Amino acid sequence: MKTSNMDKIMMLDDLTSLQVSGSDATKFLHAQFTNDLANLPVNSWQYSGYCTPKGRLLAFMTIARIDENEYMLILPVEISEKVLPRLRMFVMRDDVKITSQIDHIRIIGIAGNASALTDIAIPASGESGKVTKDGRSYLLTIDDGLTTNTERYMYIFDSDEINRFPQADSSRNDWTLLDIQAGIPAITAATQEAFVPQMVNLDLIGAVNFKKGCYPGQEVVARVHYLGKIKQRMFIAKSDGKTIALPDDKVYINGQEDKTAGTVVQSAIIGSHQLLQVVLQTAAVINNADIRLGSINGDKLIVDSQPYSILEEE
């Protein structure tokens, strides 16, 4: 059995799902998102982005294919009701039905051995990117623990069964922390349209397919990939300051008050300090600039170790 440095289950009440079904569901979704839905196997999931025509991210989500013509789009509650009508607008005459699951499902995150939880009867897959199911309950293997030493799962179930998990932690902090450590971003209402996919490293985590063809914003995303040098990337940083960073908070270089050096993506508390994902000018990182949160006199940010190579890609 793999070991784990954390054993915990957490309510992810900030997440919900949009159910997409119909004989044209695959064709429709493939034409909307940054990743390759046409070749996503049944009982598998992948990360993907949803962009404006200008290539700016409206959403970052986990997309699970649970049947030949049925998908779950797992994304934050606060942006789901904005994404839903936008997707429906492009259905046209396709055989596609998109339904909000906000009143019907709950989601928990599991850090540790899912098979040890007697409240979950579904056997976990031993492979990241896979989905196992029992009726209308689904267990996504987010991380098999082979590289991070922490197994992670997402369990989606009927909201009427919430009483099965009285031990679930209502805090979101630890799940966010694991996302940050793994280099997985989040797009919230505060950061919608703030970033192109490469700025939050979607290309580095396999959430963008550059060979799949057209989708909203594809020309911009492809141009950045093939022709442009990416001047901003998402980095992990840490701070000992007491001010909790929020999505879209700005960061500055000490002595350069007139311009921002980056934008906070998300943050989490770990011990006596906080860990942040920050989209930064790559030049500031290369030059080891004195980066501050909120103002040039704000809490100092130290760029930490990254889960994958970033600057080497440039």
Q: How confident is the model at residue 116, as a pLDDT?
A: 63
Residue 312 lies in a domain: no
pLDDT value at residue 248: 98
User: Distance (Å, rounded) from C-alpha 269 to C-alpha 125?
Assistant: 30
Q: Is 156 helix (H, G, I), strand (E, B) or coil?
A: strand
Domain of residue 228, residue span:
189-306
C-beta separation of 252 from 219 below 8 A:
no
Averages of pLDDT over runs of 10 residues in the chain (314 residues) are 58 97 97 97 98 98 98 97 95 95 95 73 83 93 81 93 85 95 97 98 97 94 89 96 92 87 96 96 94 94 94 60
59, containing H or E segment: strand 57-67
| CATH number assigned to the domain comprising residue 40 | 3.30.1360.120
Task: Tell me which residue of 88, 80, 85 sits closest to 18, measured CA to CA.
Answer: 80
245: CATH = 2.40.30.160
Whether 31 and 158 map to the same domain: the answer is: yes
pLDDT at 192: 98
Considering the domain architecture, whether residues 19 and 135 belong to the same structural domain is answered as: yes
What is residue 124's predicted lDDT score, i.e. its pLDDT? 77
Q: Is the dihedral of CA 98, 220, 199, 299 positive or negative?
A: negative
DSSP string, 227-293: T----EEEEEEEE--SSPP-TT-EEEETT-TTS--EEEEEEEEETTEEEEEEEEEHHHHHTT--EEE
Give the pLDDT confidence score for residue 1 in this predicted structure.
26
C-alpha span between 150 and 10 (Å, rounded): 15
Do both 156 and 248 map to the same domain?
Answer: no
Last residue of a domain, one of 154, 182, 210: 182
Total number of domains in the chain: 2
Helix (H) or strand (E) holding 21: strand 15-21
